[in-house]
Structure 1
Amino acid sequence: MKNKIKKPITRRFFFYIVFLIVLSNVLLSLIISAIFRNSMGRQATEASISLLQRNLENVNEYLKGIDDIANSLIYNQDLIDLVKRKENTLADRDLLNSIFSIFYQSRNDLKLIIYKESEPDKAYSIYSGSGLAETGDFHRSEWYRKISQSSQNRIMVSNQVSAYTDGERNEFAHVMIYKIKDRYSDSCIGYLRVDIDLQNLKKYFISDYENIDGTSIYDGEGNLLFQDKMVVKIPWGTALGETGVYLHQDSSYITVYGNVSDIGWKMAFCVDKEKIFRDLDYIMVVLVGILLFVILITSLCSGRLFSIVTDNFKRLVAGMESVKQGNLDTQVEIVRDDEVGVLIDEFNGTVRTLNKLMEEVEKKQILLKEVEIKALQQQINPHFIFNILETIMGLASEGLDDKVITVCQGMSSMLRYNISFQNSTRLENEIVQMKNYIKLMQIRFENRFEVFCDIDERCLNAEFVKFTLQPLVENSISHGLSECVSGGLIRILIQRQEDMVAISIYDNGSGIEEGRLEEINRKIHETIENPLEYVEQYNGLGLMNVNLRLRMHFKEQYHIEIFSKDRKGTCIYIKIPYIEV
């Protein structure tokens, strides 16, 4: 901006704004009060829902931890063998004591007990002193009746009386029962019981959030397990999407509740509406007072404030305009070490970083291209090695040791050629490796096909991508001549055409159906922005892999076309620029 902005105009504009704010303050306070009333109610509801979901997740995590402990035991082969044995040995008792001691040290809030189907009047636990306690026949217990009738491998019993046999103390109120099954017959050979200390579990339910006026937990049969502050009755509520949380509101309370995992418990929170709105009235008085005080201070300091802000921002805007024009060497002078000065410093640092990044972008793109090419090349190797190993196994099974040695020598030569760190080579080297591969395949498919090569010597020094001719020849053999028993023909023609090199690979095999041919040609001519995405899509397809690698190396100067007639044969035609190496 060429014209200087006059301070009096800015100051008068600020005074007009202050006047309008003061004039509308009363109306605004009423509107804010209504909005805040609705907002506070919504926030209290959202906070209750969030807290409920968090507590449900905590309890579910606690129960999952119990499941993890149980699964580590019931699928332990040593423990399964112990439960299957009718007679216990000293080693069995030592095993039980060591297992229970480990879990007792890490989770002393749980009590683990094992029952054998073969000994219905005994239980194994570290809490019984010797490890073995006489009990009543657990077959008469309520938990056994429930789990034997259930198709599930785990149940939970919350009733104190039904959870225990006659010979045990009602020390815990909630019990998880797990079936111990034989791995081979899938029959139940025993049970693992995990007793949960409800007092320890309460810390996962009780909330310190001051706006929660009541918490209650009910079991699956509607019995109140415990409550904090007040008993919350669970009404019929509205489901909140698929969160598993329900909401109910009346004139006095906001109530949210949800289910705990798959054990049937329900957790409920309630919030007193009157308490929320009572706090809101006090907040509104404080906000109005703060607003008036800020207006007064702003009026007194407007002149100084606007001069500081506008001067600094003018320089910053000028610097932005300079960068916008492409001048990445722009640096804005910092006059004051204040917040705007920090902003200007960050702007200067950003411009410097941007300038440096622009210089590094081309280097990184080159490195990325090399990485992508190597990623594509690594798909060829396993495919090639697999086919050669099949050839070796076939020859070895027929006892053709001399040919096995020949194939191994050829394979060794090709692998040595492929594992070098260069992505490109002379076309002559690629032709040598292609002929080496053809020799291996003629050993494998004896008298099945012949190969004729017509190579222009002027093309031998051309730059070419490594390991690309062999997959194309392999494609002709494995797909084109797959149904050919004898009389197969592969013709390879490489010619120099001015500043281009033309490569044709023809076979007289089964050809490609017209619809399939159109689809292949469409895919190989698509614009490729990120080759690695196409690598995953065409994983294992040698032709597509070669197409992507040649496209990334030669870019738009590269061309490929496939001609084919069903039951007549196929020709792959490639053109690349002649770049002498």
Structure 2
Amino acid sequence: MRNLHERLSRKLVNKIILLLSFVIVLIVGSLTIISTRITENEAMKNMVTTTKNNLKLVNQNFDNYFFERRQFIFPQYQYEQVINSLQNEDLEYTSQQYLEDYLRVLFYSKPDIQGVYLYVIKKNKYYYITHDENESKVRIAVNQEIPSKKWFQEALQNDQQLLFSSLLTSTQGDVGYPVDINKSFMAYHRAIRTIFSKESKAIISIFFNTTVRDQIIRDASLDPNEHIVLLSHENVPFYWDDPAFFQSMELDWNRIGKNDNTNSIGEKGDNQYFDIWNMSERGQWKLIKFITSEQIYKAAHASRNISYAVGLIFLIISITLIALTTNAITRPLNKLSNHMLLFSIGNFNVRVPVKGNDEIAHISKQFNNMILQTNNLIEEQYKLKLVQQSAILKALEAEINPHFLYNALQAISTKALKSNIQDIVDMVDALASTLRYCFSGGDQVKLNEELKHIENYLILQKARFGSRLRIQYRIDPQLEQLFIPRLSVQTLVENSIKHALEKVSYEVCIVIEANISLDGVTIKVTDNGPGISSERLQFIKCLFQKNWEDREYGSIGLQNLHARLKLRYGQDAEVVIHTQSFYTEVCIKLPKGGMEHVKGTDY
């Protein structure tokens, strides 16, 4: 009956989950469709308002920029001197110099001026200064075709004596002047007339590069697939961000931006474009931005996605609550099962939380008691094992008691001395000194004590290798009292004997050096043995990176020394190996702070 009830309950839970899921999907789906329609309309309004405000700010900067540029183009002071200089420029050198100075003042007054040209009408020549030349100096040239240019005629007929022309679609022949139209986007032309007769004496033209214009247009913050164009009040384009886009759209500038409504201007690819524009306060410039429908309804789509996400979250929460309710009874059994699994894989510290007084709580209590008893048994066996190992170590320690060894070696030395065998006496004494050094307490010794121990050690090795073993010392006297780890240098010497002297038949010289450097102390042991192969060297370096517990047979000495240095002196201490053919150098590097026992140094 219990199993049947459990099965029925699970089927009912599935029905409830499906029913609630359907209701939630229906409600959230309906609300999402309604909210998406509303959000699309609001998104259109917000996008238009935000874009118009941004265009207004950018267009105001453009308006101020053009207004400032046209203010300084006409001489505000000493206007008569300019007229007189134009009339006498071919007769008086000072008049010519004055005109050149006037052009220089204009040229260097603004950072975005590409070139300044002054055309003297009756002389058919012009003065000019431009960045396009290697040297920025005033030059004079003759060109009789300039008066036939369209901009020249319009500048003469302009009542305001000012004409600004776009270079966006112009060619070099339309300009007439030797100016690089690829670097300039606009030119200002102004006629210089006499005060009384209003006779035009010259036309001054200033060409502006894109430096300041690009800084202003950057504030428009164009997103991908958005485009912008700047028109004059005569609907002449002075800037567009993508020439290919505007040329392919074949837009009618007189129709675009006529009313305040946002209108569709056409499609390009998968995008439908709308225009949003702003007219400057002075009525001179119109800035139009073209945005896609995707950008306009981006917020609406995001809101729709959020609604779907919220609905999905509600659905998950509902299913979770139902699942938690139906599994309230089986949860304690699941916990008990999980703890038993942990216990079966060796975790003896688990404890099952006990709640209530039902059968499950009783089973949990018995399981906790079983774990406690198991831990007690394991602890007793572990302690017994430690006692056994301690006893074995005590026995071994008694067998190799240092006093026993010293007495035995002393007896051998006395016997050899009575037999007049001096070599054996020296070897036994050296061995006794070596053992005494190894067994004496303390991990730190002075460098001179370590070197004395090495001498005794080498007495034994010379008895083995004879004249093939040669030793040299190069020790800085300041370092003789330096405290170092016991048997550290001896480990390096032993390494040279094992991997150099034992593997060759020729004489091997082992050099022991100790020097002070800016970084610390360096103790080196060098030999002229066969060197270390690259594979073996890489293997040893890998051992240095491992933990001491993961040591491998064959390189325990160097790995042990490397680990001891790291533990005592920090990460800056290390064992470094350099090797070549017939050369091996093993260094102990101790960082600053390791010489506090050396007197007479400020290290």
Normalising by structure 1, report the TM-score.
Answer: 0.39
Pair member with larger Rg = 2
Normalising by structure 2, report the TM-score.
Answer: 0.37
